[in-house]
Each structure stands twice: as structure tokens, then as C-alpha cells.
Structure 1
Amino acid sequence: MANVHVIGLDIAKSVFQLHGLDEAGTTILQKRLTRARLLPFFEKLPPCLVGIEACATSHYWAREIAKFGHEVRLMPAQYVKPYVKRQKNDMADAEAIAEAVTRPTMRFVAPKAPEEQSAMMLHKVRLMLNRQLVMLTNAIRAHMAEFGIVAPVGRRGVDRLLEVIDDAADARLPAAARQCLQMLVAQWKLVKQQILENDRQVLGLARSTELGRRLMEVPGIGPLVASALIACVPDPSVFRCGRNMAAWMGLVPRQNSSGGKERLGSITKAGNRYLRQMLFAGAMAVIRRAMQSTRRTWLVRLIERRKPKVAAIALANKNARIAWAMMMHGERYREPMAVAA
């Protein structure tokens, strides 16, 4: 084991496959370990380069293995897949990881600290709670529509339905149906309270750091986007420029170019879906205000030529680049000058 220079580690829940290479790239180790034996193995192994796919639990294992002096690099799974030979199994995956981690052009993912993972967990829990709130709202509407009780779309419509459920004198709802709906309303109120508490934590998290406060100065970047950017991009230097980070979020046009002819389509929608959605939502809020403004900014001129959603993608792309520059250089946001009409 003293000659092991590179190890490809295919992680799972209970069983882990290792593939070791020497300095010449020759296979000298193929080993299958259980969860309990993995860390003791790396503790005895001399420091080497360890490659892992950036998937579930990968950040935890990267932190633990790095404590023993190893250099751990995480790679997106879609970049490792081309190195898999023929059949897919644990041994082939580990071999592909060992091969991919040595490539000079490979792109790596920065391991996250527990605090950064906890911050991102706030956002994931918020998404789940919002889905549950929508599900409960739709269930209440659907059940009450069965008795001919409907309400307009929106928050006020839901409030009207809740008033009918609370009114025991309303004869339109049978007693058994009212009892079932009260159970749903209790769940609805609990989830709504949890969402409000989650939002308060996200706001406090964004305001607690100097970088978060600077990012929130950018139009279209609020507490949600600022805290998500800090959690998802702990090290902005992994991107060579702002465009690379925008491409990682899937905010650049899809290319199908050949023979010197450029063919650009819709955005790639690759990479971090959550950040892309949040940046787009923030951009749409800015566009709604820009359409009511009289200032001749680049965004207003763009809206005159393109549809609002296309302009929102352009603004989200621009905000991603601005965020990268602010994170890299420690600068504050500078408002662009308006052009005279």
C-alpha cells in the first residue's frame, strides 16, 4: 500500500469500493470495504490523492478522509461517467473515478463545511414545506368543492374557506366532512408557521455575514439567494470567471455548433437547479418594477426587444456574474448609470 498514489473511491451506504493506482497509473489495489473499516484503512494509508463523486454523503467523507492528510477531490458524477468502461458496477465506477481524478482538465467541487451544509439544509427544508403547504391547500379546496364551496385563487380565497370550516353553523358542510377538514387545517397552520420560522432563520443567516449583506445590495438578490450562494459556492475561485459560474447554474445558451457555424438554443438548465430558480424569481421581481419605471436602463431597453421571461434569464445570468465578482474581490455593488432617452 505504500506505493498507492491515487485512489478512486466509490461510496455507498454500507459497502465502499476502492481502486488504487501507482505513479505510473498501474492498478495495484482493488478493495471492498464496509462502512466501519473505511476510515481505519485511510488512517493507515500514506497520504495520497483520493477521488470521490460529488453525491450524497460525499462532503462528509471528504472531510473525514482529509483529516488523515490525504488530498480529497470531489467531481460531478456526469464528468466521471465517460470514463466507465462497458458494464457499470462498483469496480468499474471506482476505476473510472481513479482515472478521472488525474485528468488535468477535470473540474472539481469544493468540499462543504458542516455550517455550509446546514445553511443549505434550511433551503431544502423550506422547499419541502412549501410543497406540503401547496398540497394541503389543494386538498382543502378539492374537498370543499365536492360540496359546492369554492373560493378565488390566492390567499384571500383560502381564508374564506377556513372561515367556512370554522363556522359550525354553516350547514353546507356535514359534520364528518368538517372534522376531516379541520385536521387538514391544523396541518396547514403548522406548516405555515414552520415556513415563517424557516424564513426568519434564512434572513438572519444572510444578515449575519458581511458577504451576505453585500450580496443583498444587488437588485434581484434577496436573503434567500444570498444565503444560498454562500452555502452552494463556498470557494468561488473554483470558477475561472463569472461566466463559468453562470454556466454551472445552467443560465447560458445550449450550443449545437459544428463546422464553424454557431447554433445557440435555449438555456442548458444544467447544474444547480435551486440557484437558477431563485435567481430567475428575483429577476422577475426586478423586471416587474422596471416595466413601471421611466429610467432608460439596459434592462428596460432589453424588455422592449424581448419577452419578459427572456429578459429575466439575461438578468439572472448577469446577477450570477456580479455575485461571482463580489465574492472573489470583496467589492460592493455599483448601480449602473441610466442612459438618457
Structure 2
Amino acid sequence: MNKCKTIGIDLAKNTFYFIMLDKQGKQVERKKLNRQQLIGYLSKLETCVIAMEACGTAHYWGRKIGQLGHSVVLLPAQHVKGYLRGQKNDYNDAKAIAEACQHGAIRPVAVKSLAQQDDQTFLLMRQHVSSDRKRLINHVRGLLAEYGVVLARGSQVLRKSLPFILEDVENGLTDEFRALLFRQYTQLERLDEELQWYDERLAEKVKQKDVCQRLIKVPGIGPVVSFSLRAWMGSGEQFKRGRDASAALGLVPKQFSTGGREVLLGITKRGNQQLRSFVVHGARAVVSRADGKTDRLSQWILRLVERRGFNKAVVALANKIIRIAWVIICRGESYKAPAAV
């Protein structure tokens, strides 16, 4: 039986390269295995730490390897790159992963369960349908403008106007273009029906999950944001505090400090771009409606808007929302609305 401390695996589609390091960080062995050999070889090893980049198929292999009794560590690829030395090749990549894991300075990514991957797949497919519909609407509006038919912004304006445009014989549109426009209209209707199915299914999922029901009570969090937060954060145990969660989502200032002089710039925009956008838009809705309210949160928002401006107050509230969400998810608590001042 081979004894090892850390194994770094460079994942690929069919061929896997790995480097084995002992407790002192010295290279003990290196191997090249195909997809069929990997699990069989790892099953013969004594329990050790196996590190991989959090890239495509990483969660699948993390679950499979974890079932063998090994400790699986997934590391963000952008942070592992700093440990790469010499020429870039598969063995050096695997060694960089192993050394980054042994160093222990990089926060690992939690291995997602099948249920978490199902939830993320659902959200990705919903976003794909929504993006397709948005692109189609903009495409049709642009085509109509080329024929002299200019419509106001908004998807509802286009939906209501298209039937009348198709039936109007005096708008100068050719029969060829009407036929093409009709096909685009039917495609838009199909996308509307598809997105409606996802929204109905999302509402059902949110009702069935206690965590989502507790998250919805937080100002700025609705069904989509609550479900997305739960899918992204999981159990929340990978973060020591709520501040770490907000930093992982990119809602903290970017630093460019040197010589004792601290310079804070805009937010880092790390992590899940779509979720961050959802949270910021939810926070913007809360900030825009805070005027005239007397509860502590609204008063805090109004003071922040007066002192730092509307947009910075929105980001600050988004940061606070993520911190609150972490407490709700990780500690199982419920949100209590702040009392009036």
C-alpha cells in the first residue's frame, strides 16, 4: 500500500495526471491514468488528501473519490495558478494543485451534492431560457426598426404590438417579412411558455424548502434570490462568518494599498455574477422604497444614502443581505424584522 499525504490531480476529459507529495512536500510519485483507471487506483491507496481544481466535472469526481474515504479538497483555479512554477504542463499543474492544498491558504470550494447540482442546473436552464427570450425580443425590435416600425422599450409592448403589426396591411411590410416575423412571434410565445413553466416549478420548490421560506422574509430577497442563494451557499459551513460569504460573492471593496496607504476601489465582483446581480437588484428595490419608513433598517439606509450616495448604499445593503442569509442558512435562524425607531 502506498502512503501519501497529498495528491494533486489535474482533471481532464479522459486523461488524468496526478502528483503525490509526502508530509514534507517532497514529490513521491507521479502518474498518468485514464478515466477507467482513476477510481481503481485511488481505492488501493491509504486515506489521504486529494486536491483538484474546482472546474468542470470536479464535483462529480469529488463525490466519487469521497466515497472511497479520502478527504477531497476543491480549490479555485485562479488562486492555484500562483503556485505554478516552470513550464505549463499537466504534471506541473497537478503539482501546483497539491502544493496549494498543502499550503492551506486558499479557501476550498465545498463539494456539491447531487441535489445541489440539480438546483444549479435548474437555475442555469431557467437563465438560458430567459436570455434567449431577451435576445429574441431585442432582435425583433431591431428588425422592425429597419422597416420603419419603432416600438418603445419593454417586452410587453412588443408582445401587444406584434399581432397588430402583422395584421396591418398599410405599414409597408412585405409578405416575406411578415412570414418571417410571424415565425419569430411564435418562437417568442414558446419561450414565454417555457419560462412560465420554470417560474411555476421554482415557486413549488421554494414552498417545499424551509430555508427558502425563511430567506424570503429578508428585505430584498424573493423566490428567485432565495432559491439561488441556497443553491450557491449550500450549508454555508465553508464560510467562517457572513463577511466571508459576501467577500466570496464579490460584494466587498477592491484594495490597492501600498506603503501603509489604503486605497479602496469598487467591489471585487468575484464569484457568481448572476446571483450578485439578483442580490444587488433586490437591494436597490429596498433602498428606493426606504424613504418615509421608520424601522431601523430603513433609517440606516437613509443615513447611508445621505452620507455615501444611492449606489453605495445599495451595495452596502446587498453585503448586509448576504451576511443575514449566511446566518439563516448556516445557523438555522429566522429573520426578525427590525422594530421602528
Report TM bin, short chain.
Answer: over 0.9
- 1:327 pairs, out of 311, 326, 329, with 329
Deviates further, 315-324 or 178-187: 178-187
- 1:308 pairs, out of 303, 307, 310, with 310
**Aligned ranges 1:1-341 → 2 under 5 Å:** 2-167=2-167, 169-170=169-170, 172-291=172-291, 293=293, 297-339=299-341
State the shift of 1:154 in Å: 1.3
Instruction: Give the TM-score normalised by structure 1.
Output: 0.94
Moved over 4 A (4+): 168-171, 292-296
CA RMSD in angstroms, aligned pairs only: 1.8
Change (3 A) 1:27 1:112: same
State the shift of 1:303 in Å: 2.1
Which runs of no fewer than 5 residues in structure 2 stay unpaired? none
State the shift of 1:76 in Å: 0.8
Q: Deviations over 1:227-274 (max 9, x none)?
A: 111111113121111111111111011112223322211111112222
Q: Aligned with 1:72: secondary structure?
A: strand
How many residue pairs align between the two structures?
Answer: 339
Q: Aligned with 1:25: secondary structure?
A: coil
Change (3 A) 1:140 1:99: same
Change (3 A) 1:304 1:66: same
Q: Aligned with 1:236: secondary structure?
A: coil
User: Following the alignment from structure 2 to structure 1, what is the Cα–Cα distance between the partners of residues 44 and 192?
Assistant: 50
State the shift of 1:13 in Å: 1.2
User: Following the alignment from structure 1 to structure 2, what is the Cα–Cα distance between the partners of residues 238 and 159?
Assistant: 45
Q: What amino acid does structure 2 have at the position aligned with 1:309? A: N
User: Following the alignment from structure 1 to structure 2, what is the Cα–Cα distance between the partners of residues 198 and 331?
Assistant: 29
Change (3 A) 1:294 1:153: farther
User: Following the alignment from structure 2 to structure 1, what is the Cα–Cα distance between the partners of residues 213 and 162?
Assistant: 39
State the shift of 1:132 in Å: 1.0
Q: Deviations over 1:167-201 (max 9, x none)?
A: 16455221111111111111111111111111222
Q: Deviations over 1:103-132 (max 9, x none)?
A: 233311110011101111122122221221
The answer on whether the counterparts of 1:50 and 1:70 sit within 8 Å (CA) in structure 2 is yes
Q: What amino acid does structure 1 have at the position aligned with 2:183? A: M
Instruction: Give the TM-score normalised by structure 2.
Output: 0.94
User: Following the alignment from structure 1 to structure 2, what is the Cα–Cα distance between the partners of residues 103 and 171?
Assistant: 69
Change (3 A) 1:193 1:172: same
User: Following the alignment from structure 1 to structure 2, what is the Cα–Cα distance between the partners of residues 45 and 168?
Assistant: 74
State the shift of 1:325 in Å: 1.3
State the shift of 1:337 in Å: 2.9
State the shift of 1:90 in Å: 0.7
